[in-house]
Amino acid sequence: MIVDVHTHIIMKEAFKEVRQRFPHIQTPKIVKDAKGEEYLLINGEATGPITRTLYTAEDRLKDMDTEGINLQVLSVVPFTFFYNLDSKTASAISRAQNVALSKLVEKYPERFVGLATVPLQDVDAAIEELEYAIKDLGLKGVELGTNFMGKNLDAFELWPFYEKVQGLDVPILVHPINPAGAERLRKYYLTNLVGFPFETAMTIASLIFSGVLERFPRLRFCFVHAGGFMPYQIGRLNHGYKVRPEPKGNISKAPIEYFRMMYFDTTAHYEAALKYLITVVGCKNVLMGSDYPYDMGDPHPVSTVKNLEWLSEEDKEKILGKNALRVFKI
């Protein structure tokens, strides 16, 4: 089975419900221009154009069949996390999206599995929503942004949430949002091109040095965009751990040992970079992911893996699907 672990979807019906309940909240809305092209209206600004594959299952199923993908792991688009809202509103929006996603998965159980979104700004509410999404809705994990309310994911207040995730034995897919230094990233699409991989690297480093994986060793963090910049600087973290006192406080072994407890998708856009990632963490920790249906994703993720001539057929099968089946317990 071939599995794509990094795909996004907008739960259009969920936001119709949200707009009725919270008319003062500017939720994503799909609009058309004079030419009939569709755009996403976010906070009053139109972005796009987008394709129907972002919000319709039928169109994405056609693409999956064309690419030879059996199963997609669906996660909501990051700008629908709403970590900036009050807990009650954010919880309601998370619930609406999770319910809508579970209904889609129920309709196509052999083609889709879903990841929950939670109101991370309220840890108790996040735990409650996670438990409901996993136990009642049958979702297979949770998607988190790289930061919330100006805090990294190593924040101690999140540790009860991690304890719950570990107890439920589900993975965490981490996606970059709101990168640091936003004012310097406005030009040239640098927010995405540089800001996102930096965010991912900073999150990985903070999780390692905080001792989150020391305390919760069974957590399965999966990072998109092939781990951002971190795979290529893990040696710097190791060196800093050896020569500086600051990184030593919460961990008992070299950073690379925790790094190898994490998982990564294949969206590197450069074979040499992907080869290096696989060399560092091993084939068992790399999962095929595309970032579908965005233009910054890999349009042919299956071919990306199959064309790796230096990889054995057995290892290709692991990356194409076997690892995902294990990590997401599908």
For the domain made up of 3-11+52-327, the CATH class stated in words is: alpha beta
The pLDDT score that the predictor gives to residue 285 is: 99
- Domain residue limits, the chain: 3-11+52-327
**What's the rounded Cα separation, in Å, for the pair 172 and 328?**
9
Backbone angles phi, psi at 290, to 5 degrees: -120, -25
Which residue do the tokens 């076997």 mark?
322
**Could you count the other beta carbons within 10 Å of the beta carbon of residue 17?**
18
| Helix (H) or strand (E) run with residue 180 in it | none
Those residues whose C-beta lies under 8 Å from the C-beta of residue 88, and which sit 6 or more positions away, are none
Could you give the angle at the alpha carbon of 194 between the alpha carbons of 256 and 175, nearest 5°?
A: 65
The pLDDT score that the predictor gives to residue 24 is: 80
Stretch 164-172: mean pLDDT: 99
Helix (H, G, I), strand (E, B) or coil at 150: coil
- CA nearest neighbour of 217 among 168, 156, 162: 162
Terminal-residue alpha carbon distance, the chain: 11
Backbone angles phi, psi at 102, to 5 degrees: -65, -35
Residue 285, CA atoms < 13 Å, CB-side half-sphere: 24
Those residues whose C-beta lies under 8 Å from the C-beta of residue 234, and which sit 6 or more positions away, are 255, 256, 259, 280
Give the residue ranges of DSSP H helices in the chain.
Answer: 12-21, 57-67, 87-107, 123-131, 159-168, 190, 196-210, 212-215, 234-243, 255-259, 271-281, 301-306, 313-317, 323-327
pLDDT range class, residue 130, cuts 50, 70, 90: very high
The alpha-carbon radius of gyration of the chain (Å, integer) is 19
What would the pLDDT profile of 84-124 be if each residue is shown by its tens digit? 999 999 999 999 999 999 999 999 999 999 999 999 999 99
Residues belonging to the chain: 330
Backbone angles phi, psi at 3, to 5 degrees: -125, 130
Stretch 200-207: mean pLDDT: 99
Is residue 28 predicted with pLDDT exceeding 80?
A: no
Is residue 26 predicted with pLDDT exceeding 80?
A: no
**What's the rounded Cα separation, in Å, for the pair 226 and 229?**
8
Which pTM was predicted? 0.96
